[in-house]
């Protein structure tokens, strides 16, 4: 498809480091091809800034194909921008109009402190996984993979939950900065599989405990997380997490 080109105004959050209070800066970019990805547009801006002797905008990105979960950015009030089911790296400039002003902010959450500009620290997610998001099976302990048939529906539902890329869009878009969708995806993935059963109760208790300690907010079931999730992880998982947690509390 033949693209056209855009001139845009960018309002970008600039913050030198975690201690700095930060502020918005405004930049203009021109001749942006609609075939570019959003991050390629930022590349163009950065090249412009470096050539002018200014500091480029720091932002997280790596695979640029929508799977590593590293890219973030709150674009015009939306996590990963206006397209549903899409990460920022897969958002293309076709989504914007010529002359538009685009406001770009980092993920905002107490549990995701800003490191620099648009880069935030999401290690809270790693700590939640370390608290229980695994099956305790040492290397070499496994039986034959086909020894335990798993109903296709369960395997598919588990996969749908496991598709989470840990980008944090759920936290960023939730009005309460709640991490429930992230936690529920991992809890669901393992609760749906026979391999996850032995540690089912401890897993949910420990992961929720860690989630609370990290300072995320509480879920009020607004559904923004599901709407903004680039992998379209379902709210069903949150209901399942609630169920698992209630059940675990009654049992332990």
Partner 1 sequence: MSSKLDAKIPEGQLETKWSQYKSSVPLVNPANKRSLHIIVVGSGLAGSAAAASLAEMGYKVKVFCFQDSPRRAHSIAAQGGINAAKNYQNDGDSVYRLFYDTIKGGDYRAREGNVYRLAEVSTSIIDQCVAQGVPFAREYGGLLSNRSFGGTQVQRTFYAAGQTGQQLLLGAYSALERQIGLGNVEMYSRHEMLDVVQIDGTTRGIIARDLVSGKLERHFGHAVLLCTGGYGNVFFLSTNAMGSNVTAAWKAHKKGAFFGNPCFTQIHPTCIPVSGDHQSKLTLMSESLRNDGRIWVPKAQNDTRKATDIPEEERDYYLERRYPAFGNLVPRDVASRAAKERCDAGYGVGTSKMAVYLDYASAIERYGKQQATKIGEHNADKKRITELGKEVVKEKYGNLFDMYAKITGENPYEVPMRIYPAVHYTMGGLWVDYNLMTTVPGLYALGEANFSDHGANRLGASALMQGLADGYFVIPYTIGAYLSTQIREKAIPTDHAAFVEAEQKVQATLDQLMNIKGTKPVDYFHKRLGKIMWDKCGMARSESGLKQAIADIRALREEFWKDVRIPGAQNELNPELEKAGRVADFIELGELMCVDALNRNESCGGHFREEFQTEEGEALRDDDNFKYVSAWEFKSTGNFELHKESLIYDRIKVSQRSYK
Partner 2 sequence: MTKFLTSSLGKKTVMAMTGLFLCIFLLEHLYTNVQLFFGDGGKSFDEASHGMVHSIIIRIIEVVLFFSIIVHVYQAVVLTKNNSDARPVKYAVNGVSKTSSWFSRNMLLTGSIILFFIVVHLYNFFLPYRITGEVVEPEAQGEHLAERVAAALTNPYYAALYLISVLFLAFHLNHGFQSAFQTLGANTKKYVPILKMAGTAFAILMGIGFASFPILFFIFGEEFLNWNL
Using CB under 8 A as the criterion, which residues of the chain lie in contact with partner 2 when the complex forms?
A: 11, 13, 24, 74, 76-78, 103, 105, 108-111, 173, 175-178, 208-209, 211-212, 215-224, 227-228, 234-236, 238-246, 249
CB of 73 to partner 2, least distance (A): 12
Match 């890329």 to its residue by tokens.
Answer: 165
Query: From partner 1, partner 2, none, which one binds at residue 25 (CB under 5 to 8 Å depending on kind)?
Result: none
Q: How many CA atoms lie within 13 A of 68 on its CB side?
A: 10
CB burial of 109-147 (b: ≥16 within 10 Å; e: otherwise) equals: bebbebbbbbbbebebbeebeebbbeeeeeeeeeeeeee
Choice between 68 and 227, CB closer to partner 2: 227
User: In the bound complex, what is the minimum distance in angstroms from residue 200's beta carbon to partner 1?
Assistant: 11
Nearest 5°: the CA angle 170, 175, 177 is: 55
Binding partner of 173, given partner 1, partner 2, none, CB within 5-8 angstroms per partner class: partner 2
- Choose the one of partner 1, partner 2, none that binds residue 140, judging by a C-beta under 5 to 8 angstroms depending on kind: partner 1
Of the candidates 243, 119, 141, the one whose C-alpha atom is nearest the C-alpha of residue 195 is 141
Nearest approach, Cβ of residue 85 and partner 1 (Å):
8
Distance in Å, CB of 147 to partner 2, minimum: 29
- Give which of partner 2, partner 1, none residue 90 binds (C-beta under 5 to 8 Å, depending on kind): partner 1
Phi-psi region of 56 (alpha: psi -120 to 50; beta: other; left: phi over 0): beta
189 binds, among partner 1, partner 2, none (CB under 5 to 8 A by kind): partner 1
Identify which of residues 84 and 101 has a Cβ nearer to partner 1 in the complex.
84
Please, which residues bridge with residue 12 across strands? 25, 104
Q: Copy the structure tokens of residue 218.
A: 């509480």
């Amino acid at each position: 498809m033949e693209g056209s080109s855009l001139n845009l105004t960018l309002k970008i959050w600039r913050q030198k480091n975690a201690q700095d209070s930060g502020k918005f800066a405004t930049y203009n970019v021109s001749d942006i091809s609609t075939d570019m990805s959003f991050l390629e547009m930022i590349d163009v801006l950065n090249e412009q800034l470096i050539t002018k002797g200014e500091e480029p905008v720091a932002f997280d990105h790596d695979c640029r194909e929508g799977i590593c979960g590293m890219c973030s950015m709150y674009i015009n009030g939306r996590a990963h921008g206006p397209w549903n089911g899409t990460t920022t790296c897969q958002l293309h400039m076709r989504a914007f109009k010529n002359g538009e002003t685009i406001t770009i902010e980092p993920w905002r959450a107490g549990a995701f402190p800003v490191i620099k500009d648009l880069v935030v620290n999401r290690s809270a997610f790693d700590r939640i996984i370390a608290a229980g998001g695994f099956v305790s099976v040492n290397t070499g302990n496994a039986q034959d993979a086909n020894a335990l048939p798993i109903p296709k529906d369960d395997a598919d539902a588990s996969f749908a939950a496991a598709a989470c890329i840990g980008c944090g869009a759920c936290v960023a878009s939730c009005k309460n900065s709640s991490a429930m969708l992230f936690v529920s995806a991992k809890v669901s993935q393992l609760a749906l599989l026979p391999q996850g059963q032995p540690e089912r109760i401890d897993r949910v208790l420990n992961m929720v405990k860690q989630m609370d300690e990290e300072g995320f907010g509480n879920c009020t079931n607004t559904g923004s997380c599901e709407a903004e999730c680039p992998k379209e992880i379902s709210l069903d998982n949150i209901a399942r997490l609630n169920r698992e947690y209630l059940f675990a509390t009654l049992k332990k």
